[in-house]
Amino acid sequence: MSERGAILFARYAYPPNELGYCGPADSSALLRPADSDGIERGARQFDGAWCYLEFLAETAGIDDPLDERVVEAYWIGNDLLDLTDPVALLARMRDRFRGQQGGTWRAAADRAVAHHSFQVFDVYPWAELLRASGNPTALSVLDRCRIRTGVVRSVSGETARVECRPLTWTGTALTPGPPREESVRWSTGGRSLIAGPAPGDLVALHWDWVCDVLTTTQAARVESIEAGRLAAPESVPATG
């Protein structure tokens, strides 16, 4: 198992796990970088993410679902995504997510991708709820659950002020809104999976956490893949 891949997974998976949305009951297990075996045990309890990681690894002929390249493909995006077959991915998902309600993924044979943005905008039911009712909670969840990019403006202790573009709902489409600053965490109780961010850093955010410092190429991949999801009309379907 790749220790670097395990830590990378934990960086992005800890925020929703801390909130109790997915993964093991003990979220603090993901904040122990020296215990990569413990992180792997926790990762296997993320039913959604682990399905994609296994699929990406198998498609690329990689033995380890926590290989750093596999983990990066799921959370950020890289060339491993180009190797995957949408039809094969959906077949895997129909088996793993049998009985799960909501979402538009079952009709996504031409656009399924083993990336977190697909899980957020197509598998979860929030996009359907937003289109049906304009529900502000749905908009907030979609905005926070996606991996979004931002620029660090200042750092104070275990928090940072980051400028990013929140999602807005026009009544017919999700689009990135004007830039704004928000306060996010990069550490808790002295424990973190990244070095302290610095003003000017380009970072990835998940819920209210800084997950990683990105290269410009990585940030462009996150933004490009998300743009493709938002441009697909089926991702936010019209009501019947």
Whether 34 is in a domain gets the answer yes
Structural domain contains residue 121: no
Within-domain flag for 92: yes
Q: Considering the entire predicted model, what is its pTM?
A: 0.93
**Structural domain of 59:** 3-100
pLDDT reported for residue 28: 87
> Is residue 125 included in any domain, yes or no?
no
Q: Is residue 130 domain-resident?
A: no
Q: Which helix (H) or strand (E) holds 160?
A: strand 159-164
Residue 169 belongs to some domain of the structure = no
Among 222, 217, 219, 213, which Cα is nearest to 194's?
213
Q: Which distant-in-sequence residues (6+ apart) come within 8 Å of 232 by Cβ?
A: 111
167 CB-side CA count, 13 A:
27
What pLDDT was estimated at residue 233?
Answer: 55
Q: What local confidence, expressed as pLDDT, does residue 34 receive?
A: 80
Domain count, the chain: 1
- DSSP SS3 for 155: strand
| Residue 116 included in any domain | no
Mean pLDDT for back-to-back runs of 10 residues, the chain (240 residues): 91 95 89 87 93 97 97 98 95 84 81 94 89 91 97 97 96 93 96 94 98 97 93 52
CB under 8 A, 24+ apart: contacts of 14-21: 14/193, 14/209, 15/206, 15/207, 15/208, 15/209, 15/211, 16/145, 16/206, 16/207, 17/42, 17/46, 18/207, 19/207
| pLDDT value of residue 141 | 96
Answer whether residue 49 is part of any domain.
yes
